Structure 1
Amino acid sequence: MATLPNTLALIGNTPLVFLKGPSDAAGAEIYGKCEFANPGASIKDRAALGIVEDAEARGQIAAGGTFVEGTAGNTGIGLALVANAKGYKTIIVMPETQSREKMDTLRALGAELVLVPAAPYSNPAHFVHTSRRIAEETPNAVWANQFDNIANRKAHITGTAEEIWAQMDGRIDGFTCAAGTGGTIAGVGMGLKAKDETVCIALSDPYGAALYNYYAHGELKAEGSSVAEGIGQGRITANLEGAPIDTQFRISDADGMGWVTRLLAEEGLCLGLSSGINVAGAVLLARHLGPGSRVATILCDTGFRYLSTLYNRGWLEAKGLAVPPWLASA
């Protein structure tokens, strides 16, 4: 393997792995893009790098400046790593409901962490609005604005989609993932459609989000709830505008956790719930497309980021989710 010119070149070019259990369940070929292999252990490293380099190209940030962002955690981790490598500082605003591991990681990376109560987007105290205000009040600061900054989805058009197309030798029938900012599904969808318009792009939406009803019925309407972090959206962000969504699935936490448990027990992959929801959606998409179809999805981040939640017996029981057999006696 050739050497890389710098540490930021470690972001992207992640492996694509065949997933045996999901493939057998669907009667198709299902592949997972291993985004936990990024330096920050999540797909959000791509958006972070794209946003920082776009700000630099536009002359929006000066040496020693600060990037401010509101995030469920992973984008903040990516931003902190990218900023460290480029000589910037980071201020991260995060809902206090997110996992302890994400908070500890951000502090360990040197980010200034601001925790706020969880609130609806319509509330001025929402973490996104809070981060914007902090950016406005901080000298030489840029608000990353991952939800509406289309440098986010551009990173997936030029990076993630190109990689998936090459890794599957151009033989791909469908792609699916959940939406948080919308950058991944819109960017990958646009990139793949540019190669082959017939590739089916499907949204895998958790309960509690409004996009399933939007794409199915034209109405932003949320139903139920989910404990998944970093996914689920109640509005059409700038990154989602024009996203080429062909079909949509609604995925329960129980179904997503079922695949999280199976992928760990059967294939040695320790993943977060967003990955489980994506895999559940990939199985549904492959069944929709028919036997022998080839579908790709995103394995968003490492399960090691959720040891106090998804991999904790007491937390699972409190949320009414099945406890894996090996945790039942822990």
Structure 2
Amino acid sequence: MDFSNNILETIGNTPLVKLNKIVAEIDALVLAKVETFNPGNSVKDRMAVKMVEDAEADGRLKPGGTIIEGTSGNTGMGLALVAIIKGYKLICVISDKQSKEKMDILRAVGAKVVVCPTNVEPTDPRSYYSVSKRLAEETPNSWYVNQYDNLSNTLAHYEQTGPEIWKQTDGKITHFVVGVGTGGTISGVGKYLKEKNPNIKIWGIDTYGSVFKKYHETGIFDENEIYSYITEGIGEDILPKNVDFSLIDGFTKVTDKDAAVYTRKIALEEAIFVGNSAGACIKGLLQLKEHFKPDDVVVVLFHDSGSRYVGKMFNDDWMRERGFLDENITKAEDVIKDHIDKELIVVRTEELVSHAIERMRKYKISQIPVVDINGFVGSVDETDLFRSYVADKNVAEKPIKEVMGKPFPMVKPGTPIEEVSKLFTKENDAVLVDLENGNYHIITKYDIIGAIK
């Protein structure tokens, strides 16, 4: 009989799949190493097992202990599988930018999940690096994995992923392209492949808001390059020990929008349902196309499954909110079509300023049209109300008509977006759309900005 003794024995030997339509403009053979076939649905299963087994071997992890790790989700899943099979407890510290699906999956496999803010310095006590270290110090019989600096991470890919790729390409691989986060995959695979053939080029995919590309090119750790970004699984605001820059021939950076758009394209054009970093890799690959020749064999690694991003990159509303959907917006009605069913919030001339303020807070809006029995007669916005309050602390109990400004301009649904945009001035922050039959909707500056691609 042919069977595995437990789920950990099924890790590795993932398929290499030829990419076709999505890389049509690349004049080379492009193959994807699809790591979603691992039992935890990501490449991180490989190094999770290796790091645990190495820690067991040298006594850092003892029977019945607690594994603690800061993770973007995938390493946590790999560690969860190992913890279940080997009888350990697991605490995963995760940043709040990670998808809800990743957090739910970790809880489903028995991990305790601690969520930390993304937009803080690595040394901030609230960061997931700091919280992971603190929990490891406070928890008896615990082991802090530290995948960023734990060199068993790199070793797992040197021993497994690299040899698999070399064997699957019959040694014909000329380029390896992969997103870089902890650095274990690119360093482990890169080391193995360059030992086999020093001419193989190793390319890293980075994201805007990360330090890797500039550091590789200049040796400068530029903190000005660090800012919050959406793309998951790649890029860092630190220099992990697992990133061996001497093995990397170059980096290319990919925007959040391109990473998200190409994540969806892979599913639609290649029928491969993979995650956010895969989209970044494909866009990066296209940015590097002048480096590839017809006889080249280019291997790109897809880290994880698209199932962890169904509420993000695979959700139209999420994409639209961030301006990542390339929709054709030419008229006023195009701007409001996704929220046209929402009620227009108004305030009457005889209502108090306090009523307008309460409505702004409740509905999270900044502008409100003012009406009386004859229709629209004025408008108020938060700037006007703030100025009025500074001038008169009792303004909250005054009627709206005493502080209101001019009515918002009115347009028809078919008004060209260029004409609508011209109606926005320093004195005017909104435009009303006459939907007829007594129905109206509002377009704000925020809506116009959101429509800009």
Q: Give the TM-score normalised by structure 1.
A: 0.93
Query: More displaced, 205-214 or 256-265?
Result: 256-265
* Residue 218 (1) aligns with residue 219 (2): yes
2:297 to 288, 294, 299: 294
Separation in 1, partners of 2:125, 2:209: 20
Residue 276 (structure 1) aligned to one of 276, 279, 284? 279
Inter-partner Cα distance in structure 1 for 2:244 and 2:177: 17
Deviations 1:259-306 (A, max 9, x none): 222221122111211011112223344531323311111111111111
1:174 aligns with 2:178: no
Deviations 1:159-193 (A, max 9, x none): 11110100000001100112111111111111111
- Structure 1: tracts of 5 or more residues without a match: none
User: 1:252 maps to what in 2?
Assistant: 255
- Number of residue pairs matched? 327
Q: Is the 8 A contact 1:35 1:41 kept in 2?
A: yes
Unaligned runs of 5+ in 2: 329-336, 339-453
Cα distance in 1, alignment partners of residues 82 and 246 from structure 2: 27
Task: State the partner residue of 2:11.
Answer: 11
Trace 1:126-165 onto structure 2 (pairs within 5 A): 126-165=127-166
Larger radius of gyration: 2
User: Which 4+ stretches in 1 moved above 4 angstroms?
Assistant: none
Counterparts in 2 of 1:59-138, with a 5 A limit?
A: 59-118=59-118, 119-138=120-139
The answer on whether the counterparts of 1:202 and 1:247 sit within 8 Å (CA) in structure 2 is yes
- Cα deviations by residue, 1:34-77 (Å, 9 ceiling, x for unpaired): 11111111111112111101101111122111100011111111
1:238 to 2:238 alignment = no
Q: Against the structure 1 CA distance between its residues 292 and 225, is the aligned structure 2 distance closer, same or farther, given a 3 Å change threshold?
A: farther
More deviation, 53-62/240-249: 240-249
Aligned twin of 2:195: 194
Who is 1:321 aligned against?
324
**Aligned counterpart, 2:369:** none
Specify whether residues 99 and 204 from structure 1 end up closer, same or farther in structure 2 by C-alpha distance, changes over 3 A only: same
Contact 1:185 1:243 in 2 (8 A): no
2: distance between equivalents of 1:125 and 1:135? Answer: 15
Q: What is the alpha-carbon distance in structure 2 between the residues aligned to residue 315 and residue 258 of structure 1?
A: 12
Do 2:122 and 2:238's aligned partners in 1 also have CA atoms closer than 8 Å?
A: no
Q: Which moved more, 1:11-20 or 1:245-254?
A: 245-254
**C-alpha displacement at 1:95, in angstroms?**
1.2
Aligned partners of 2:132 and 2:313: how far apart in 1?
Answer: 27
* Larger RCO, structures 1/2 (Cα 8 Å, 6+ apart): 1
Query: Quick check: 1:22–1:30 contact (8 Å CA) kept in 2?
Result: no
**What is aligned with 2:351?**
none
Q: CA separation in 2, counterparts of 1:3 and 1:285? A: 42
Aligned match for 1:306, one of 288, 295, 309: 309
Is the contact made by 1:176 and 1:285 (CA closer than 8 Å) also made in structure 2?
no
For the residue of structure 2 that corresponds to 1:25, the secondary structure is: coil
Matched, 1:26 2:29: no
> Is contact 1:94-1:115 (8 Å) kept?
yes
- TM-score normalized by structure 2? 0.69
Is the CA contact (8 Å cut-off) linking 1:259 and 1:279 kept in structure 2? yes
- Please, what is the CA RMSD of the aligned residues? 2.0
2: CA distance between counterparts of 1:261 and 1:114? 29
Of 75-84 and 3-12, the range deviating more from structure 2: 3-12
